[in-house]
Amino acid sequence: MRRRTFGVGVIGAGVVGGGVVRALIDRGTSLAEKADVALCLKRVADIDPTVCQKLGVDPNVVTTDAESLIADPEVDIVVELIGGEHPARELILRAFSKGKHVVTANKLLIAKHASELCRAAEKHGVELRFEASVCGGIPILKALREGLVANRVERMLGIVNGTANYILTQMTRGKKSYEAALADAQKKGFAEADPSLDVEGYDSAHKLKILASLVFSTDVDLDEIHVEGITGITSDDVRYAKELGYIVKLLAIAHRSGDELDVRVHPTLIQQDFVLADVSDEYNAVYVEGDIAGTTLYYGKGAGRFPTTSAILADLIDIAKDIQYGSVGRVKPFVWGPKLPVKKIENLQSRYYMRFTTVDRPGVLGQICTILGRNNISIASVIQKAVAEDDEKPVPIVLMTHACSEGDVHSALEQIDGLESVRDSTRLIRVE
């Protein structure tokens, strides 16, 4: 087959865009040999043209006008790297309407508009790819979509946010406080000045929506994902968890039981010898239980200029091959099967870690245990520490429950947190 050269237009020449632009310039030829498909950078759009100059891009290729990039007849594939919801959504829809294929790393946009965007791409006979939107350098979407295609996935657990994982690793290994760990992450470039999307779990939820929709062949609503972040985790929690044989991780969890889904993001206690316990620092990993492949795990860097560039180039090559071979639409980004019900968090059955903050007086543990018992919650183990010198100074009581219902837990904690001897709201962490 005669090799055609496909024109690429990159919108947004920031951290990731710069990586893609440089890679297309630097390794276009070697890629063409290896992948048997030729890509050529035809246009770069950025509101700041000096950025492109610094990247060493031919000035004739640079524009500040994304619309003109999309309209350029030499551009076959548009790479959207401006992030955010608007105008990214509108630019991508415009690109589709002009017959352009699109690659994006925009997880927020895909999480919110996957169905609309995929249908628009299909209508216009073009492709949409977004491998870079989940776990950067790990080809996880391809693995789930193609490699594990024959499997019914029953359970998937992901560490999909490098910032939160870095902070929790620092709290565990470096015994730092949350605040000190966050400051360290910011200093090292693993956390942004406003880290809320990462530490409050929303970024993980965006990725979980994409992963869960993929493996469950349904459109999981972002709003149906229960989300809790790591901002309330203290170094005490990390230390007590360790004493009990667990590690705290921010997990993106997707279960299926029958046709009911259970999708949530929250700090989770996992056993120290579980394979995800060793995923440290800014690394990501996704653990997948398929009904025939069994357990597989995919590990790597979830963000950063170069890992993300690796995923974007793979998408570009996939699309270019489909154009070259006339096989556009060969692999659908999602399979939109019937909508599946999502379990309410109150109906969850789980084991729980509870840390109570109480005054150090006889009978407090008894009161707590009585309330738990009345709510059908049975206790697996207790850590009651140190007697305070001042009996008015709050002390922690930590316990692990056997499996029980979250609804019962909420009722119990409402009563417990109302006790005169309890001085702060109880910290609850689910166990997986």
Catalytic residues: 207
Give me the DSSP letters along 16-31: HHHHHHHHHHHHHHHH
CB of 175 to its own copies, least distance (A): 17
Lookup: tokens for 241: 């968890």
CA distances 175 to 171, 191, 352, Å, are: 5, 19, 23
Among positions 3, 34, 385, 393, the unique one binding its own copies when judged by CB under 8 A: 34
Q: Are 296 and 288 in contact (CB under 8 A)?
A: yes
Tell me if 242 contacts its own copies by CB under 8 A: no
Continuous segment of H or E residues that includes residue 370: helix 364-374
Among positions 59, 73, 258, 294, the unique one binding its own copies when judged by CB under 8 A: 294
Which span (95-103, 147-155, 199-207, 341-349) binds its own copies, by CB under 8 A? 147-155
Q: Are 174 and 166 in contact (CB under 8 A)?
A: no
Q: Are 288 and 252 in contact (CB under 8 A)?
A: no
d(CA 316, CA 131): 10
Q: Which of 82, 19, 84, 96 is nearest to 46 (CA)?
A: 82
Which span (44-52, 108-116, 321-329, 391-399) binds its own copies, by CB under 8 A? 321-329
Among positions 48, 56, 325, 393, the unique one binding its own copies when judged by CB under 8 A: 325
Tell me if 338 contacts its own copies by CB under 8 A: no
Which span (92-100, 232-240, 293-301, 401-409) binds its own copies, by CB under 8 A? 293-301
CB of 297 to its own copies, least distance (A): 4
Tell me if 125 contacts its own copies by CB under 8 A: no
Which span (132-140, 358-366, 399-407, 408-416) binds its own copies, by CB under 8 A? 132-140
Tell me if 218 contacts its own copies by CB under 8 A: no
Nearer of residues 199 and 247 to its own copies, judged by Cβ: 247
Q: Are 250 and 159 in contact (CB under 8 A)?
A: yes
Q: Are 302 and 13 in contact (CB under 8 A)?
A: no
Neighbouring C-beta atoms of residue 420, cutoff 10 Å = 10
Which span (106-114, 150-158, 223-231, 396-404) binds its own copies, by CB under 8 A? 150-158
d(CA 323, CA 6): 9
Helix (H, G, I), strand (E, B) or coil at 103: strand
CB of 158 to its own copies, least distance (A): 14
Tell me if 148 contacts its own copies by CB under 8 A: yes
Tell me if 278 contacts its own copies by CB under 8 A: yes
Among positions 98, 113, 142, 351, the unique one binding its own copies when judged by CB under 8 A: 142
Helix (H, G, I), strand (E, B) or coil at 284: strand
Residue 339 has phi, psi (to 5 degrees) of: -60, 135
d(CA 268, CA 428): 10
Among positions 161, 172, 310, 358, the unique one binding its own copies when judged by CB under 8 A: 310
Nearer of residues 82 and 132 to its own copies, judged by Cβ: 132
Tell me if 318 contacts its own copies by CB under 8 A: yes
Burial class (CB in 10 A: 0-12, 13-18, 19+), 307: buried
CB of 300 to its own copies, least distance (A): 3
d(CA 97, CA 385): 65
Tell me if 4 contacts its own copies by CB under 8 A: no
Question: How many residues sit close enough to its own copies to count as binding (CB under 8 A)?
Answer: 59
Which span (42-50, 300-308, 356-364, 394-402) binds its own copies, by CB under 8 A? 300-308
Site string for its own copies, 185-214 (x = CB under 8 A): ------------------------------
Tell me if 272 contacts its own copies by CB under 8 A: no
Tell me if 146 contacts its own copies by CB under 8 A: yes
d(CA 421, CA 415): 12
Give me the DSSP letters along 415-432: HHHTSTTEEEEEEEEEE-
- 339 Cβ contact list (under 8 Å, min separation 6): 218, 219
Which residues of this chain interact with its own copies, rule CB under 8 A?
Answer: 1, 19, 23, 27, 30-31, 33-36, 131, 136-139, 142-143, 146-152, 217, 275, 278, 290, 292-301, 304, 306-307, 309-311, 313-314, 317-318, 321-322, 325-327, 329-332, 335, 337
